[in-house]
């Protein structure tokens, strides 16, 4: 927890830096994902389906993480747009509550160091108790979609195969999922709570 006092100028600077860093991280991950998709297409072309399935799970995980970064960028931009409100209020205003709680929750779960600096300033502004509630999501104020995207662990087989089919189609690879396997996968639960 931060041992310093709230500095609105510092928070504004860190929010702007976080937005820039989040954009850069998304671009970098998108470039890496594009290369990984090419590699997976080559694996499918060489009939290395099991290796492709393992690699595509990493792409799915990265896609979820990129979506989480996009959401965090929007929350930073929201706080910048409503900065006067953030600066003046002693208690967190309901119109920015989800953004503030989500940024406090997500900062230690991301690789963006500027978010930690934003988090420290928000904790200095709203207090340790507020921060603990956000970190533990006690009041369900953290965006549920973002939580899901940050803690996503393993893709179900249907999603993996859907990604493989899309990659094969995108790179003109003659690969189709075995129809009998496709039917058995359709029995798998397709429930994605936050998509």
Task: Burial-class residue 75 by CB neighbours within 10 Å (0-12, 13-18, 19+).
Answer: buried
Number of domains comprising the chain: 1
Assess if residue 191 is contained within a domain: no
Assess if residue 127 is contained within a domain: yes
Three-class DSSP category at 28: helix
Q: Note down pLDDT in tens along the chain; length 195 residues.
A: 445 799 999 999 999 999 999 999 999 999 999 999 999 999 999 999 999 999 999 999 999 999 999 999 999 999 999 999 999 999 999 999 999 999 999 999 999 999 999 999 999 999 999 999 999 999 999 999 999 999 888 888 889 999 999 999 999 999 987 666 555 555 544 444 443
**Which residue segment(s) compose the domain that 136 sits in?**
8-186
The CATH number assigned to the domain holding 152 equals: 1.20.1260.60
Assess if residue 29 is contained within a domain: yes
Nearest CA-CA partner of 86 in 96, 71, 76, 77: 96
Assess if residue 1 is contained within a domain: no
CA distances in angstroms from 107 to 75, 93, 143, 163, 171, listed in the order given: 12, 20, 13, 29, 36
Assess if residue 13 is contained within a domain: yes
CB < 8 Å & 24+ apart, contacts of 163-167: 163/56, 163/59, 163/60, 164/40, 164/44, 164/49, 164/52, 164/53, 164/56, 167/37, 167/40, 167/41, 167/44, 167/56
Assess if residue 3 is contained within a domain: no
């Amino acid at each position: 927890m931060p041992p310093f006092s709230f500095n609105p100028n510092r928070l504004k600077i860190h929010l702007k830096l976080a937005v820039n860093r989040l954009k850069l991280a998304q671009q970098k991950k998108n470039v890496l994902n594009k290369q990984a998709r090419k590699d997976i297409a080559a694996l499918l072309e060489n009939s290395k389906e099991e290796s492709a399935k393992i690699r595509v799970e990493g792409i799915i995980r990265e896609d979820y993480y990129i979506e989480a970064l996009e959401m965090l960028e929007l929350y930073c931009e929201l706080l910048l747009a409503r900065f006067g409100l953030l600066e003046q209020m002693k208690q967190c205003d309901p119109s920015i509550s989800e953004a503030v709680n989500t940024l406090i929750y997500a900062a230690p779960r991301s690789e963006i160091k500027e978010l930690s600096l934003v988090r420290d300033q928000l904790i200095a502004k709203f207090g340790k108790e507020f921060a603990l509630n956000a970190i533990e999501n006690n009041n369900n104020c953290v965006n549920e979609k973002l939580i899901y995207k940050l803690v996503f662990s393993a893709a179900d087989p249907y999603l993996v195969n859907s990604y493989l089919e899309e990659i094969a189609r995108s790179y003109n690879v003659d690969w189709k999922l075995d129809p009998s396997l496709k039917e058995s996968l359709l029995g798998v639960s397709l429930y994605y709570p936050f998509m």
